[in-house]
């Protein structure tokens, strides 16, 4: 799944937290900053990264990825087999596993987890997830109680999709009443190492250790905390203060925080900062243009706007040269990224040439370019919806440079839940967001860039469509040989970059985080993730 980010500030939270800490000891509670509360915790309909992070501690799949090798290891399934023709996958379910409400895990739960996603009438609002599972013909339970998946055709991601599919309890999610469905938005029931206990709106989500978790003996060095408190501290500076005060045990840091705001005081004594690199798939931020808006339908206009974004200055001023200007629709360090695609340079002169060539000019002297489209005068004036306050400084820089070229950019900060609603209803001109890198090293762009994914609330929310891109994505998905697939994906990368449906912003060179001295960790990062599940509290 891909992700989005947001921040907001409530200064009173800091005082509340410090007073709370004085009243009672924290004990073996790991305090983590989730940043924002999820729109919903329902694992079928949720789409944001905040929900996914919570779900990852509560809900499990048939397998799990090793943090160092990135190979699949047994989880709810103890073993799996693949038929000689590569079209049938059979999983043996682990015995004795219980849901957090005490009911046993059954093969019917696994089958339901797949059937719910692929429900033909989209009963469970799973449109964003369907592209991953559409190549699976069916899931059935064999006579000996095993789980059998039959795929329609060979696809390089078949095994990852099935083995990593979140398994949810049929008895809870199959036919909830309207009232029960509302409750499912704010709770979770899984089989995982932590049990959902509480969601205190605006403050935190609390998970408690599942002492009956099957993995205590199988993976004894993982998930050690008695409690896992996920706080919603949206403002970067407030989060940093809470970390330094010991009210957070871990938080991701920005480049600016790492370089400029993490020295003196308790830094290096009670709280520590880490700069790290690993092989995990990386996300990226972007400005997305709604391609149904008349002003954004022309490629030259989108490219011109891209030329008005001074990313080199932003990287130097705000990211301290610890990022690269993005070149295309996924992180450029990936082998699937086209190394021949150059970043779009800041070039106001080129931008004006493109805009004038497309017929934009200031006809009424208001310092804003305009053009007649479909018989109606349209000004080059639009609003970017912003769910992340800390990204505002980047947009202000763009706004100021765009104004000099006759483009009126407005910036509107929107609360996360409202933002998601506007996004899902396609009620925006432009938005700024970020996709996470997902979990797979073998990237599949169908969810975001295929025209099929623009339907029924899919993740292609800007309505991007390019037949060559669609055809190449479809062909690449059927190509099992990675070396043969890479050139196809690089061509997809090039075509999308040339279309400029997003202004792709930055690719991070490093990751940063801070942690308290209460933390014991085996190393700063594993090969494919930081490895929080191995951390302990002293």
Could you tell me the residue ranges of all domains in the chain?
12-42+49-56+192-277+511-537, 63-173, 284-508
Tokens of 331: 């992180």
pLDDT of residue 438: 73
- Spatial contact of 443 and 416, defined as CB atoms under 8 Å apart: no
Phi-psi region of 348 (alpha: psi -120 to 50; beta: other; left: phi over 0): alpha
The pLDDT score that the predictor gives to residue 27 is: 60
pLDDT for 56 equals 96
Residues of the chain falling short of pLDDT 50:
1-26
Helix (H) or strand (E) holding 200: strand 194-200
Which residue do the tokens 């099992």 mark? 480
* Placement of tokens 């017929």 in the chain: 359
pLDDT value at residue 178: 87
Q: Would you state the pLDDT for residue 414?
A: 93
Full 3-state SS string of 489-537: HHHHHHHHHHHCCEEECEEECCEEEEEECCEECCCCCCCCCCCHHHCEE
* 8 Å CB contact between 22 and 250: no
pLDDT at 24: 40
Q: Which pLDDT score, from 0 to 100, does residue 14 have?
A: 25
Residue 132 is predicted with a pLDDT of 85
Helices in 425-480 by DSSP H: which ranges? 446-449, 467-477
* Average pLDDT along the chain: 91
Q: How far apart are CA 321 and CA 177, in angstroms?
A: 53
pTM of the model: 0.81
CATH number for the segment(s) 284-508: 3.10.105.10
- Structure tokens, 247: 């009210």
Residue 108 neighbours by CB under 8 Å, 6+ apart: 141, 170
User: How much of the chain exceeds pLDDT 90, in percent?
Assistant: 81
CATH 3.40.47.10, domain 63-173, yes or no: no
pLDDT of residue 443: 85
Phi/psi class of residue 385: alpha, beta or left (left: φ > 0; alpha: ψ in -120 to 50)? beta
DSSP state of 49: H
- Is there a shared CATH topology between the 63-173 domain and the 284-508 domain? no
CB 34, CB 139: distance < 8 Å? no
What are the residue ranges of helices labelled H in 267-415?
Answer: 299-307, 311-318, 348-357, 392-404
β-pairing verdict for 29-33 and 271-276: unpaired
Is the backbone of residue 124 left (phi > 0), alpha (psi -120 to 50) or beta? alpha
Instruction: Give residue 21's pLDDT.
Output: 36
Question: In sequence order, what are the residues at sequence separation of 6 or more whose Cβ sits closer than 8 angstroms to the Cβ of residue 60?
Answer: 75, 76, 166, 167, 190, 191, 192
> Which CATH number is 12-42+49-56+192-277+511-537 given?
3.40.190.10
């Amino acid at each position: 799944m891909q992700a989005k980010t947001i921040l907001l500030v409530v200064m009173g939270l800091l005082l509340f937290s410090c007073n709370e800490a004085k009243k009672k000891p924290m004990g073996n509670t790991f305090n983590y900053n989730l940043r924002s509360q999820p729109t919903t915790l329902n694992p079928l309909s949720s789409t944001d990264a905040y929900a996914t992070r919570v779900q990852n501690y509560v809900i499990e799949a048939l397998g799990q990825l090793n943090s160092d090798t990135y190979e699949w290891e047994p989880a709810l399934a103890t073993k799996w087999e693949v038929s000689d023709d590569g079209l049938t996958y059979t999983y043996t379910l682990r015995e004795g596993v219980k849901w957090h409400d005490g009911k046993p895990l059954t093969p019917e739960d696994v089958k339901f987890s797949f059937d719910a996603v692929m429900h033909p009438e989209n009963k469970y609002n799973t449109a964003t997830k369907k592209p991953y599972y559409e190549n699976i013909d069916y899931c059935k339970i064999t006579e000996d109680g095993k789980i059998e998946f039959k795929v329609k055709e060979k696809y390089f991601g078949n095994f990852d999709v099935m083995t990593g599919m979140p398994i949810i309890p049929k008895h809870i999610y199959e036919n909830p009443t309207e009232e029960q469905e509302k409750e499912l938005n704010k709770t979770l029931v899984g089989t995982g190492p932590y049990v959902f206990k509480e969601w205190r709106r605006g403050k935190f989500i609390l998970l408690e250790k599942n002492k009956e978790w099957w993995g205590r003996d199988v993976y004894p060095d993982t998930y050690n905390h008695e409690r896992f408190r996920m706080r919603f501290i949206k403002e970067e500076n407030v989060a940093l203060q809470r970390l330094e005060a010991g009210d957070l045990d871990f938080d991701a840091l920005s480049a600016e925080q790492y370089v400029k705001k993490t020295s003196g005081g308790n830094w290096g004594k009670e709280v520590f900062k880490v700069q790290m690199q690993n092989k995990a798939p990386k996300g990226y931020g972007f400005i997305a243009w709604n391609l149904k808006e008349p002003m954004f339908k022309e490629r030259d206009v989108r490219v011109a706007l891209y030329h008005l974004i001074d990313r080199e200055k932003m990287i130097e001023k705000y990211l301290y040269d610890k990022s690269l200007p993005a070149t295309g629709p996924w992180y450029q360090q990936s082998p699937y990224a086209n190394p021949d695609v150059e970043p779009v340079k800041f070039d106001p002169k080129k931008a004006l040439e493109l805009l004038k060539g497309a017929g934009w000019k200031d006809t009424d002297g208001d310092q804003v370019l305009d053009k007649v489209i479909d018989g109606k005068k349209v000004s080059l004036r639009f609003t970017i919806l912003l769910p992340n306050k800390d990204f505002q400084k980047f947009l202000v820089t763009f706004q100021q440079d765009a104004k000099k070229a006759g483009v009126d950019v407005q910036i509107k900060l929107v609360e996360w839940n409202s933002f998601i609603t506007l996004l899902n209803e396609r009620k925006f001109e432009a938005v700024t967001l970020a996709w996470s890198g997902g979990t797979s090293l073998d990237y599949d762009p169908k969810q975001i860039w295929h025209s099929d994914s623009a339907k029924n609330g899919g993740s292609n929310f800007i309505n991007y469509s390019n037949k060559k891109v669609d055809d190449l994505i479809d062909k690449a998905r059927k190509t099992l040989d990675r070396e043969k697939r890479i050139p196809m994906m690089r061509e997809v990368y090039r075509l999308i970059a040339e279309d400029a449906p997003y202004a792709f912003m930055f690719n991070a060179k490093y990751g940063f985080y801070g942690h308290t001295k209460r933390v014991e960790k085996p190393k700063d990062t594993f090969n494919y993730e930081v490895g929080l599940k191995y951390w302990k509290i002293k």
